[in-house]
């Protein structure tokens, strides 16, 4: 029987640490500030933005919300981002994805100042990550690393298999595991003999987006299993990629969904906002 990795408790601890940092910075006249921009009225995105605002409030981070209509042009959006780049009380900028069709997401990301790019999506920050010296840790993969550390299992020397190679999760996940001295294999939809590879994983991270994708026969007994997937099952209930009932008896550690990786993403975003505020004020990290 695997031990559960409690993302709720671990994210609460990170938020408490962030709140302490915010208090110290605010006492010095530097209150970390985050701007969140939402274009259109996608209900899921609205919930994410609300959660980010609440998390800012809970940790003392100043936040601004920009809710723009679906009809916003790319130029209007880029102008807003440029204004936020110049705003002294805003240290981090997040433009909620997905953007409505027709708005060039890459152009928006590249307009955010790399110093305020708390999602770590800008090419400059992606490059720093590739060089092994990221300024900001990409939020979801950094959350997964924090969860692995919480188990006491060392990443160094372990075979880490990541299923998924997206720019947001899979690729930066692989880079962070490598930075932690893991031996990393990245799998994707064209991978041959997927099961053969995943069965070699001491640490298995799934970021596919398909409910029940990772079954017990894909997991090495004793593996640490991290489930990034956020899917809906047949009954509309939130679930991950991993067949939890099948895998839990053979893994050594496993994240539940909900309550695993999900809560970590916002916590790491808050941490990045504090980092941004320090850097923009010439402070050591």
Of 191, 242, 182, which Cα lies nearest the Cα of 212? 242
**Which tokens belong to 216?**
């017990």
- Rounded-to-integer distance, Cα 155 and Cα 180, Å: 6
Two tokens at 129?
């990550």
Catalytic residue among 15, 116, 117, 119, which?
119
Q: What phi and psi, each to the nearest 5 degrees, are found at residue 152?
A: 85, -5
CB of 211 vs ligand NAP, minimal distance in Å: 9
**Which parts of 44-103 interact with ligand NAP (CB under 6 A)?**
none
Q: Which of 4, 130, 194, 238 binds ligand NAP (CB under 6 A)?
A: 194
Least distance between ligand NAP and beta carbon 135 (Å): 20
212 binds ligand NAP (CB under 6 A): no
228 binds ligand NAP (CB under 6 A): yes
Query: Smallest distance from the beta carbon of 266 to ligand NAP, in angstroms?
Result: 8
Under the criterion CB under 6 A, does residue 163 sit at the interface with ligand NAP? yes
Pairing of strands 238-239, 231-232: antiparallel
Contact 59, 18 (CB under 8 A): yes
Neighbour tally for 240: CB within 10 Å: 31
Would you call 96 a catalytic residue per the annotation? yes
By CB under 6 A, name the one of 43, 133, 157, 189 that touches ligand NAP: 189
Distance CA 119, CA 96 (A): 10
List 60, 100, 209, 212, residue binding ligand NAP (CB under 6 A): 209
Long-range contacts of 45-53 (CB under 8 A, 24+ apart): 45/96, 45/97, 45/98, 48/96, 49/96, 51/266, 52/94, 52/266, 52/269
User: Interacting stretch for ligand NAP, rule CB under 6 A, among 17-25, 108-116, 148-156, 164-172?
Assistant: 164-172
- Which among 10-18, 93-101, 117-125, 161-169 is the span making contact with ligand NAP, rule CB under 6 A? 161-169
Minimum CB separation of residue 264 from ligand NAP in Å reads 7
Q: Which residues are catalytic?
A: 52, 96, 119
Q: Give the residues lining the site for ligand NAP (CB under 6 A).
A: 140, 163-166, 168-170, 187-191, 194, 207-209, 228-231, 261-262, 265
């Amino acid at each position: 029987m695997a031990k559960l990795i409690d993302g709720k408790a671990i994210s609460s601890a990170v938020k408490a640490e962030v709140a302490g940092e915010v208090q110290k910075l605010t006492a010095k006249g530097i209150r970390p500030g985050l701007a969140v921009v939402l274009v259109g009225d996608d209900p899921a995105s609205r919930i994410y933005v609300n959660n980010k605002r609440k998390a800012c409030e809970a940790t003392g981070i100043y936040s601004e919300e920009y809710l723009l209509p679906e009809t916003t042009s790319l130029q209007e959006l880029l102008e807003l981002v440029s204004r936020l780049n110049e705003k002294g009380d805003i240290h981090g900028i997040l433009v909620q994805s997905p953007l409505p069709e027709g708005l060039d997401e890459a152009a928006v990301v590249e307009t955010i100042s790399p110093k305020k790019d708390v999602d770590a999506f800008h090419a400059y920050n992606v490059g720093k990550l590739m060089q092994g010296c990221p300024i900001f840790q990409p939020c979801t993969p950094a959350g997964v690393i924090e969860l692995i550390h919480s188990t006491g299992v060392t990443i160094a020397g372990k075979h880490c298999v990541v299923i998924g190679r997206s720019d947001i999760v899979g690729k930066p996940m692989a880079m962070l595991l490598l930075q932690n001295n893991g031996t990393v294999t990245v799998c994707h939809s064209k991978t041959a003999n997927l099961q053969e590879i995943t069965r070699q994983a001491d640490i298995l991270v799934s970021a596919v987006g398909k409910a029940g994708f990772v079954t017990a026969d894909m997991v090495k007994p004793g593996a640490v299993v991290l489930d990034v997937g956020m899917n809906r099952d047949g009954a509309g209930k939130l679930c991950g990629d991993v067949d939890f009932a099948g895998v839990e008896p053979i893994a050594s550690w496993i994240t539940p969904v909900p309550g695993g990786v999900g809560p970590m993403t916002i916590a790491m975003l808050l941490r990045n906002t504090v980092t941004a505020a320090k850097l923009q004020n010439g402070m050591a990290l």
